[in-house]
Structure 1
């Protein structure tokens, strides 16, 4: 009695499992055709694959390879031929299909047809599943990798404990957790209750279909049972994996593009800064060269001392920071090119007139102008000092000459110098002869004084008018 009951129970479970597989695999195949814009719709997986044409089309879409052209005949031999081509193709891809033959598909063998579709799903949809964080030494089957992925994504969710692809999914919470883990904006997970499996399942299936474009392969009623079919659950969950993997890849590409855009913007900003730094420094250099080349010096020592002080300020205060700027420009350009090399970018070539050699060339011109300015200032200082000394000597000598002339005026102005009688004329004449004898030798001294005044005037001494007047 118990044995018969067990047999009936097992048979019933097998029929439920096969029924769920049939629905899932049919929906899966139609989803493949729909995604690839192929106008084929499978209604009964046991009969619609009979001619082998739909099966060949499915394999072409999944593999991306062309199979031999199918025979469009309507006879059994034509159906066998087409299914044989499909099975041969699978064998060429190292897919184990030893049990099933073309006649099993043509005859509608339900068990073997479901097995064949499952093998195709494993080969073309599940076998590519890999985990990035698993060590290379840890060899995992695709179904194990998919299970680990599900466990990792749902580990933090309450009332979710993914141990398999069957009863762990019955209450629908695991499906909702998978979606929420990637898109928390789509699922209000805290509002879900474990005792409402149908509601949970439909919520996840509807959101996945409407918001993510993941086809609804399963019916909530088929999943909300103690032991839903593993192959059906795995097939459907694999769609989640591939969708979110593509999403992650898209986000990674987007991040990479954003990073590239930020990098290019950063490089452009650095280039503009470099060119501005060079322009500012060259502008300063050219202005300073003009100032340093100016030879319109003042003609007084006091003003020249001020000019010398300004020149010293230029050399010790103004120029050193500009020399540091020059070094910063070189370092800045090196930084740009280092960043470009790290990102496999062609090195930046500054525009004509703003290259490092242009900066170096103008800096050399500046230093030459500085050197010449120093020599010119020193030479002018010596000239003015000499003039100042010459003017001082002139004034000293002029004072002596003035004093002498004043003495002579006094002598000539005395009354006894102009005799009133003839007897005194001789004495006065001798006195005049003595004065002439004293004055004439001094003529050269007055001439020398005049020559000194001429030199002072020609040299543009600041007191030349007073000297010439004197």
Structure 2
């Protein structure tokens, strides 16, 4: 199988996949129960590739037909080919049809390309091992020789964190004879303070020969995090060399772009032109959730970056005995705060409006279903009465037959007239459904 080409054990493939999807779940609030079924529409796959690559991919088609699923998965595979990832064996139809072997192989290819690297696994292993050895060289009780038993006592994980962030780990308090405690300490600190997902259980690592590939995958997260941290520090050092005027320009540009985004989103959130079908409303609700969980949080972080940027400007000015920079009117931190409050009010209001509209549509849908059910009963009754009338002979040939016919007519009238109110009630229901702009109101009116 394709999966076996990349990993020796299927269990290891599944562990790596679960690890990757944990990262995705924590960052975009998605919970994957069955990857073979839930990758089908291609939306989660596109989100995963965006998250790991840091690049923008084409927006997925939210349709529910097979052709929409094939389109989304084709976008994902096209992106992988563009990134020179070898995906010749698998096509969009394999993902839509839930081909387990090819899907496992695809996810592991993605992990190799984006989570560990596109170079060969042996080179990755050697490079990552050298990095670990270099970072932990000053720790006398740590000896990283492999990605298995060298990590069993938990000290190596703690050392990797401590060498970069000594404020997070009280390293001298750790004891080799307490491996579970050491491992849980490192895993908890990494998750809480560094945002590194806990992919391993302490009990699975605190053994003579823990799984090598699992540890290597997890350690690669440390490498990626601290590499980005170092790049960020480099950027900060370069920023210190930038002139005050350039910093002012950057500040005003940053705040202008954020305020533009806020105002645009307020207009979108204030829109109350909702669709009149439940299916379309569910899609609108999903888009709103994406705004709250995915789109808005980075913008909140931008607010903090803008504040830090302004603080940096004023710090440099104080160091140079310059007068503090006062942002122009409309570009102050107070302006951002004011518009952010408006944004959050609009968000809250839209959430309530969507909920109310969803409840209204559900009520109308239920009413429409009751109408159709009652209409079917009324139609059945009318057809039965037509049959009764067709069977009657109302041509009087004698007084006796006239009396008999009269009695039959009276019996029919006695059965029909009391039902008039039921038909009027049906008409009233149809009127309400039509007034509520039910998406199939033409059918209701015709009925």
Q: TM-score of the superposition, structure 1-length normalised? A: 0.43
Larger radius of gyration: 1
